[in-house]
């Protein structure tokens, strides 16, 4: 089958699947949807994106909608009587009462433009309109994952449709990917950034191409602060590229000049942000400061982790990667998580087999293919490590949400199918690339009919 037709089929299927998720997931049951919608509405009504303020009247309108749609039952809290008028007074919601001042404004600015198209919509109508925008971002992410795999293995490789199919059929990705949230947008930008890196590795790092990459980083940071996760990857990417391309090693003088130039660009961009939009810059300062204080306390031995913390943390992180629906309350039966653990360990062991073959020179990949796979491993390790540093070592009682790892979704999906392919001869790769996504399809059926629909009724 023509690979373009295959890609079109996968994108269409992911679009239809996303519409199903939008329909079956009750209003307000994806993480922080009430506060994300409030931020977008504040900007839609004319507030400046660099200095928005919470609007109690909007919060009261949204809270009334929460009550109409049985919000209290879904989050397992008693219905408040009388209804609160602000998010800070609302049971369960008070823990994260606003996104204003917490997230950069670019996603909300885009959402506000969509809301302005029909200002007379009900609050539920606004919610579903923004869910559709999120679905578009998520479908595009599926396409970019295919492109990332094609950069490494070629567009005719069966790994391309398999990796794209895996992400389209990952239940938790589709739950988050159809929610009112900056996550779908930042996941798309994260995937695009990885694609740019893989493409630059093949075509060479020129100043103009690096500037395009930095522009993508700048847009990503203005969409969501979690794009900071991808900044530490850049030095590692350069190091990997130079190791695999020793003939391209540039002189120390040129390397210093380029590094200094890029550093100056980043410094000027940050200085401009601080000077003209200090409230936006403050968001990043706060996040970096939280990471510094958390790491500092942990290294000094001031962090007291409760008994069983790591077992709980690892378990919750794993579950919320695959499916833990409804603000991380409704789980799959334990047997399914056990099967997924076995499948994940098998994929990880497959990556280990690849490394052994590489060292012993028994693998058949080209130098550029190896560079791409190692780059994906770097992204996966940095994203996972950043999450453990920011949330894991805190030891705080908070929800553990693997959706924050979806920013490097091309790495997870491609490495998963690539790891499984290591167990079989090349002639069986196509069959493996069909069977594995088919398993994800079964998981979707279980998620839709056994979990989400059950708790919706």
Residue 238 pLDDT: 80
Structure tokens of 226?
Answer: 């979690």
pLDDT of residue 395: 72
Sites in the chain below the pLDDT cut of 70: 1, 246-262, 274, 276, 396-398, 456-457
Q: What is the pLDDT of residues 105-145, one digit of tens each?
A: 999 999 999 999 887 778 999 999 999 999 999 999 999 99
Residues 147 and 132: beta-carbon distance below 8 Å:
no
Q: Is 100 helix (H, G, I), strand (E, B) or coil?
A: strand
pLDDT of the residue at 377: 96
d(CA 283, CA 287): 6
Q: Token digits for 266?
A: 């980043």
* Residue in the block written with tokens 């809270």: 63
| Per-residue pLDDT at 375 | 95
Looking at residue 119, what is its pLDDT?
74
- Among 10, 39, 173, 168, residue whose Cα is nearest residue 100: 39
Closest CA to 201 of 168, 245, 163: 245
- Give the per-residue pLDDT at 17: 95
The reported pLDDT for the residue numbered 264 is 73
| pLDDT value for 257 | 67
Q: Which pLDDT belongs to residue 235?
A: 85
Q: What is the DSSP letter of 366?
A: -
Strands (E), 315-437: 324, 330-331
- Would you give the DSSP letter of residue 306? P
Query: What pLDDT is attached to residue 317?
Result: 93
> How many distinct helices (H) and strands (E) make up the chain?
20, 2
Q: What is the pLDDT of residue 408?
A: 96
């Amino acid at each position: 089958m023509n690979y373009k037709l295959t890609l079109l089929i996968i994108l269409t299927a992911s679009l239809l699947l996303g519409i199903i998720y939008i329909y079956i997931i009750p209003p307000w049951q994806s993480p922080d949807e009430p506060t994300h919608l409030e931020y977008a509405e504040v900007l839609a009504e004319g507030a400046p994106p660099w200095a928005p303020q919470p609007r109690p009247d909007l919060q009261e309108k949204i809270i009334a909608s929460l009550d109409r749609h049985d919000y209290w039952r879904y989050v397992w809290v008693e219905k408040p009587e009388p209804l609160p008028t602000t998010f800070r007074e609302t049971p369960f919601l008070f823990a994260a009462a606003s996104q204003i001042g917490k997230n950069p404004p670019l996603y909300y600015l885009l959402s506000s433009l969509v809301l302005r198209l029909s200002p007379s919509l009900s609050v539920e109508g606004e919610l579903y309109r923004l869910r559709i925008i999120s679905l578009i971002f998520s479908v595009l992410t599926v396409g970019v994952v295919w492109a990332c795999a094609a950069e490494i293995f070629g567009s005719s490789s069966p790994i391309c449709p398999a990796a794209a199919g895996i992400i389209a059929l990952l239940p938790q990705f589709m739950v988050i990917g159809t929610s009112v949230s900056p996550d779908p947008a930042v996941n798309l930008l994260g995937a695009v950034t990885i694609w740019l890196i893989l493409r630059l590795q093949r075509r060479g790092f020129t100043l103009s191409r690096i500037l395009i990459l930095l522009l993508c980083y700048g847009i990503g940071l203005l969409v969501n602060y979690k794009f900071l996760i991808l900044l530490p990857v850049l030095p590692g990417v350069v190091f990997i590229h130079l190791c695999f391309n020793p003939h391209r090693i540039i002189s120390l003088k040129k390397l210093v000049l380029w590094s200094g130039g890029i550093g100056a660009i980043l410094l000027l961009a940050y200085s401009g942000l601080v000077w003209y939009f200090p409230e936006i810059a403050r968001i990043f300062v706060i996040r970096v400061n939280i990471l510094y204080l958390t790491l500092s306390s942990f290294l000094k031995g001031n962090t007291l982790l409760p008994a069983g913390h790591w077992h709980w943390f690892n378990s919750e992180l794993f579950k919320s990667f695959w499916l833990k629906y409804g603000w991380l309350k409704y789980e799959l039966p334990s047997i399914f998580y056990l099967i997924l653990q076995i499948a994940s360990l098998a994929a990880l062991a497959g990556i280990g087999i690849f490394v052994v073959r590489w060292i012993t020179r028994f693998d058949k990949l080209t130098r550029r293919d190896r560079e791409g796979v190692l780059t994906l491993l770097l992204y996966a390790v940095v994203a996972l490590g950043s999450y453990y540093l920011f949330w894991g070592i805190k030891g705080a009682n908070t929800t553990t949400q693997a959706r924050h790892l979806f920013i490097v979704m091309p790495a997870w999906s491609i490495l998963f199918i690539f790891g499984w392919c290591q167990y079989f001869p090349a002639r069986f790769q196509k069959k493996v690339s069909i069977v594995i996504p088919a398993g994800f399809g079964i998981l979707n059926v279980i998620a839709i009919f056994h979990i989400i629909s059950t708790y919706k009724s």
